[in-house]
Structure 1
């Protein structure tokens, strides 16, 4: 089991738009499976995220993770949460629940930089995948607002994606 964070980022370095949405949603090429996510999810069996990322899914037209076990780092269970979603406010305890249910697949760490930093600081984040989008958003949240800037990254691969985006994959190494 590997824990893999995958984020889209605008060319000017923002992981959200000014109104808090992931920047890929304003990309004209955005849609189901776009930006390399379909290939990425083939190895994943679980999704791990913070409550802020999870809650909008409760009112979405379709459940975003139909084939994944869902784990949420949060202190309350929002109304409408499906029964099979696991919620816990302790990141280590939640990690143990993920490990206990894992059948060998990877875990997609979804969410904001704070959630990603929580699991990076625990030393369990294996890869950071960035999809650089070919446009600027001008404002929003940057990855490094929460992620420790001393995080060691080892280049693993890169590839162009449809619509001019570029995927860059880094293996996360211990802090420098």
Structure 2
């Protein structure tokens, strides 16, 4: 199991547009139906792990966004209308233990903003950071940093060109690892 974050980012470093939408939604190639590799990415995932802010809009969606994934939500409270099969917890360490206990061998898609990604990275749980750099300048929005600090120990793994001029860049996240119950010492 690997915990992998995949998100769009503008060429000037913003993960959201100035009005708060995910960066890739502003890319005309994405808007015209290009997946930017998300379908291939999700094929290896069995679970979605996210913060409450990312999760709550799904409750009013006409279609459940994660039909084939186990869903785990980090939040101080269980949002009203949350389906029974969704696991919630306010403690990231406990939630991570629940994710690992339920895992059947597939990867986990870490979805969310910089704070959620930074939380799980600080626990040593983020294995890969996958960025889709869209060929746009936003001039504002939410940045991936400072939640993911410059000492994050990213190791370049791969890159590939995507439709419309976007580029996928994949990094392994090593960094310092805290002691977690089911992580072998060699991986901490």
TM-score, normalised relative to structure 2: 0.89
Counterpart of 1:153 in structure 2 is 154
The answer on 1:30 being equivalent to 2:15 is no
Q: How many residue pairs are counted as aligned between the two chains?
A: 175
SS at the partner of 1:76?
A: coil
SS at the partner of 2:84?
A: coil
Counterpart of 1:57 in structure 2 is 58
Distance 1:49 1:33, change over 3 A: farther
Counterpart of 2:81 in structure 1 is 80
Q: Note the C-alpha offset of 1:136.
A: 1.4
The answer on 1:101 being equivalent to 2:125 is no
Q: Note the C-alpha offset of 1:145.
A: 2.5
Q: Could you report, residue by residue, the CA deviation over 1:142-167 in whole angstroms, capped at 9, with x for unpaired residues?
A: 10131122110111000011121100
Gaps (5+ residues) in structure 1? none
Tell me, in whole angstroms, the C-alpha distance in 1 between the residues paired with 2:134 and 2:174: 25
Tell me, in whole angstroms, the C-alpha distance in 2 between the residues paired with 1:151 and 1:73: 22
RMSD: 1.3
Gaps (5+ residues) in structure 2? 177-188
TM-score, normalised relative to structure 1: 0.95
Q: Note the C-alpha offset of 1:33.
A: 6.7
Q: Could you report, residue by residue, the CA deviation over 1:55-100 in whole angstroms, capped at 9, with x for unpaired residues?
A: 1111223211111001000011112211111110000100111111
Q: Could you report, residue by residue, the CA deviation over 1:24-64 in whole angstroms, capped at 9, with x for unpaired residues?
A: 11222225671110000111000000011111111223211
Query: If you compute each CA radius of gyration, which structure gives the higher value, 1 or 2?
Result: 2
Counterpart of 1:124 in structure 2 is 125
Q: What are the residue-to-residue correspondences of 1:12-23 with 2, within 5 Å?
A: 12-23=12-23
Tell me, in whole angstroms, the C-alpha distance in 1 between the residues paired with 2:146 and 2:156: 21
SS at the partner of 1:17?
A: coil
SS at the partner of 2:126?
A: coil
Tell me, in whole angstroms, the C-alpha distance in 1 between the residues paired with 2:21 and 2:82: 21
